[in-house]
Amino acid sequence: MSIDSTWLRCPNCVSDLSEVSDRVYGCANGHRFDRSKHGFLTLLPPRAPRTVGDDRRMLAARAQLLDGGAFAPISDAVIAAAGTASPTGQAARALRIADLGCGTGYYSARLAAALPGTDVLLADRSPDAVRMALRAMPGATGVVLDIWRPLPIRDATADVILDVFAPRNPAEFARILRPGGRLVVVVPSAAHLGELRERGMILDIPPEKAATVTEQLAPTGLARAAARRVEYSIETDATHRALLAGMGPSAHHESARAASEDGTGVRSVTVSVDVLEFRHTDA
């Protein structure tokens, strides 16, 4: 595993980062960051909140469900949306994809397989997530960061940003995306996993998330270029339903207990998301 420092800037002073010695990266102002034994850098700003992101149990539940193909139609839509992008500036260079809130790396791994030769940045607040994602994509660059804060990523360095069921930082997304680049956002619709919500197994979803995200991004120059609703049913047993509840934010709440105590048989559950494609209009 290696680090492509052309993605990165210092979280302390925003100067460019580069490799200064074996497994040590730094900037011209003397700030230094060690590459972990698992192959990633931790680039958190000073006084960053002590949040850790998704824990190992949540990630294991997500990996088991995703590897079983439950959300494959969503990843197919992500691939279709991201595939509309092309490198800008230098001819014949690799497409650069930043997966922000990468989780297990499932979506970016499938995208990289569909678009060979891409350069991928895997970033998440959870060290466990970045470690897991790098196992799926050992050639990628892995970074632990805080999406809510200024990102330790250089200006205009990504052709595509993936934001799949993850937080958004509109101004920073616009800053790191190249002019003409693409941002692909996946958000749940009100119907997503509705059968589980009715049984108190997962948290409520704010209404009209797609419209809200579009409004948040528009002032930064990220204009919605396309939207696709992906909706289908999956047959689940109690184990699958526990995984669905345990893979997301509901795992931190009492609602997850209802899923673990759900002993009913096979039930059809609705998967319903909006895959939104935004274009950086400062082209």
For residue 255, pLDDT beyond 50 = no
pLDDT (average), residues 263-273: 81
Cα distance between residue 245 and residue 39, in whole Å:
30
* pLDDT number for residue 197: 86
For residue 254, pLDDT beyond 50 = no
Top-confidence residue, 255 or 213: 213
For residue 191, pLDDT beyond 60 = yes
For residue 277, pLDDT beyond 80 = yes
Annotate 147-214 with DSSP letters as a single string. Answer: TTS--SB-TT-EEEEEEES----HHHHHHHEEEEEEEEEEEE-TTTTHHHHHTTSS----TTHHHHHH
pLDDT (average), residues 194-213: 87
Structural domains of the chain, with CATH: 5-280 (3.40.50.150)
* pLDDT number for residue 281: 84
In b/e form, how buried is each residue of 75-106, taking b as 16+ CB within 10 angstroms? bebbbebbeebebeeeeeeebbbbbbbbbbbb
Nearest alpha-carbon partner for 134 in 153, 126, 186 = 126
* pLDDT number for residue 46: 84
- State the DSSP code for 16: B
- Conformation bin of residue 276: beta by default, left when phi > 0, alpha when psi is -120 to 50: beta
**Quick check: helix, strand or coil at residue 221?**
coil
Nearest alpha-carbon partner for 38 in 162, 146, 143 = 143
Give percent of the chain above pLDDT 70.
88
Residue whose entry in the numeric block shows the structure tokens 């088991």: 64
Residue whose entry in the numeric block shows the structure tokens 């297990």: 104
* pLDDT number for residue 246: 83
Residue whose entry in the numeric block shows the structure tokens 């799949």: 164
For residue 275, pLDDT beyond 70 = yes
Q: What is the mean pLDDT of the chain?
A: 89
Query: Model confidence over 102-119: pLDDT tens digits?
Result: 999 999 999 999 998 899
Cα distance between residue 81 and residue 66, in whole Å:
19
* pLDDT number for residue 253: 47
pLDDT (average), residues 161-188: 96
For residue 234, pLDDT beyond 60 = yes
Nearest alpha-carbon partner for 81 in 159, 137, 140 = 159
Nearest alpha-carbon partner for 202 in 237, 246, 265, 239 = 246
Q: What's this model's pTM, rounded to 2 decimal places?
A: 0.91
Q: Judge whether 65 and 243 are in contact, CB under 8 Å.
A: yes
* pLDDT number for residue 131: 96
For residue 203, pLDDT beyond 80 = no
The sign of the CA dihedral 69, 71, 77, 83 is negative
Diameter of the chain measured on Cα atoms = 61
- The bridge status of strand 24-26 relative to strand 32-34 is antiparallel
Nearest alpha-carbon partner for 45 in 141, 120, 153, 174 = 153
Q: Judge whether 138 and 158 are in contact, CB under 8 Å.
A: no
Helices (H) and strands (E) in the chain, counts: 9, 11
